[in-house]
C-alpha cells in the first residue's frame, strides 16, 4: 500500500497530502482515496494536484467524515489509492486560461506545469494559499477574491477556459462565453461510488441526456451541461 510522506494544513481546512510511489495521470483526472476500512463506506475522489517522480499530491478541503479521516493521516501511514480515473482536460493549442475557485484550484497546478503559457486565475474567498507555488509553475498567475474572479475575466481573450470550482462560478463562465468563440470546459464535482462507470451515482444531466461524471467526465464542455436541471441554478 502507498505510504504518506506528509499531510499539511496549508490554509484553514485546506490540506496538502503527499503520497510516496510512482503514479500516472493527466490534468483533470482523479484518484479514489481510502484511509479507512468500512466507515465511510465509499472511497473519496480527489483530483491530481501534482505528480512528480516518486510521489503524488492531493489538495483537499475537509468537508465531512472521509476528508476528516484524510486530515488525520501522518507520515508513514498507509493509504489506498486507485486511479487515475476519468476524462480530464483536453490537450488544446491556443490561448488558455485555467480558472479555479476555492479548492477548485486543485487540478490546475498539474495543468499549469503542462501548459506553462496558460494564464492561471485563482479565486479565494478568504486567505490565499499556494500562490507562490503556482507562480513557480506558470507564467502568469492572477489571484482574485470572490465574485471578481468571473466579473474581471475577459473571456474573449482566450480560445479555451478550463474551470473548476463552485457550480455558480462555472455556470457564470459558461454564460459569459456564449457571446464569444471561447470553449469552456468544466470539471464537475459529483458524489461517486464505483468511480468506473458501473453504478450511475454520478449522473450529470446534459443537454443530450445523462452522462457519468466518473467515466464520461469529470470534465465536460460547459455548453453540453444542463446547469438548470443539474443544479437548479
Ligand X SMILES: Cc1cc2nc3c(=O)[nH]c(=O)nc-3n(C[C@H](O)[C@H](O)[C@H](O)COP(=O)(O)OP(=O)(O)OC[C@H]3O[C@@H](n4cnc5c(N)ncnc54)[C@H](O)[C@@H]3O)c2cc1C
**Whole-number Å distance between alpha carbons of 168 and 66:** 25
The shares of helix, strand and coil residues in the chain, as percent rounded to the nearest 5, are 20, 35, 40
193 vs 221 by CB, closer to ligand FES: 193
88 vs 182 by CB, closer to ligand X: 88
Stretch that binds ligand X, among 42-50, 74-82, 90-98, 112-120 (CB under 6 A): 42-50
In the chain the beta strands, taken as DSSP E runs, fall at 3-11, 14-20, 30-34, 44-47, 50-52, 55-61, 80-85, 96-101, 119-124, 140-145, 160-164, 183-187, 203-206, 209-212, 219-221
**The cell 494564464 sits on which residue?**
119
For position 32 contacting ligand X by CB under 6 A, the verdict is: no
Phi then psi for residue 147, to 5 deg, are -65, -20
Stretch that binds ligand X, among 91-99, 143-151, 183-191, 220-228 (CB under 6 A): 183-191
For position 42 contacting ligand FES by CB under 6 A, the verdict is: no
Question: Taking CB within 5 to 8 Å according to partner kind, which of ligand FES, ligand X, none is near residue 212?
Answer: ligand FES
Q: What part of residues 176-215 is at the interface with ligand FES (CB under 6 A)? A: 192-195, 197-202, 212, 214
120 vs 192 by CB, closer to ligand X: 192
Kindly give, in sequence order, each residue whose CB lies less than 8 Å from that of residue 41, ignoring residues fewer than 6 positions away: none
For position 57 contacting ligand X by CB under 6 A, the verdict is: no
Residues near ligand X, by CB under 6 A: 30, 40, 44-47, 58-61, 63-67, 103, 106, 189-192, 213, 218
Amino acid at each position: 500500500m502507498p505510504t504518506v510522506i506528509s499531510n499539511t494544513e496549508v490554509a484553514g481546512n485546506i490540506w496538502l497530502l503527499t503520497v510516496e510511489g510512482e503514479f500516472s495521470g493527466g490534468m483533470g483526472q482523479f484518484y479514489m482515496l481510502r484511509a479507512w476500512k468500512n466507515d465511510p463506506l465509499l472511497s473519496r475522489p480527489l483530483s491530481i494536484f501534482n505528480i512528480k517522480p516518486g510521489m503524488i499530491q492531493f489538495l483537499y478541503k475537509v468537508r465531512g467524515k472521509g476528508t476528516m479521516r484524510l486530515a488525520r493521516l501522518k507520515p508513514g501511514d498507509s493509504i489506498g489509492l486507485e486511479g487515475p480515473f476519468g476524462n480530464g482536460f483536453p490537450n488544446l493549442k491556443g490561448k488558455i486560461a485555467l480558472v479555479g475557485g476555492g479548492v477548485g484550484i486543485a487540478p490546475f497546478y498539474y495543468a499549469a506545469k503542462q501548459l506553462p503559457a496558460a494564464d492561471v486565475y485563482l479565486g479565494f474567498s478568504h486567505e490565499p494559499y499556494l500562490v507562490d507555488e503556482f507562480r513557480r509553475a506558470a507564467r502568469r498567475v492572477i489571484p482574485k477574491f470572490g465574485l471578481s474572479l468571473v466579473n474581471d475575466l475577459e473571456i474573449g481573450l482566450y480560445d479555451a477556459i478550463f474551470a473548476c470550482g463552485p457550480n455558480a462560478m462555472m455556470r457564470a463562465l459558461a454564460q459569459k462565453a456564449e457571446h464569444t468563440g471561447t470553449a469552456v470546459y468544466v470539471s464537475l464535482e459529483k458524489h461517486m461510488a464505483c468511480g468506473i462507470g458501473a453504478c450511475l451515482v454520478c449522473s450529470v444531466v446534459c443537454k443530450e441526456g445523462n452522462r457519468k461524471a466518473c467515466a464520461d467526465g469529470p470534465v465536460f464542455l460547459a455548453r453540453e451541461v444542463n446547469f438548470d436541471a443539474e443544479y437548479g441554478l
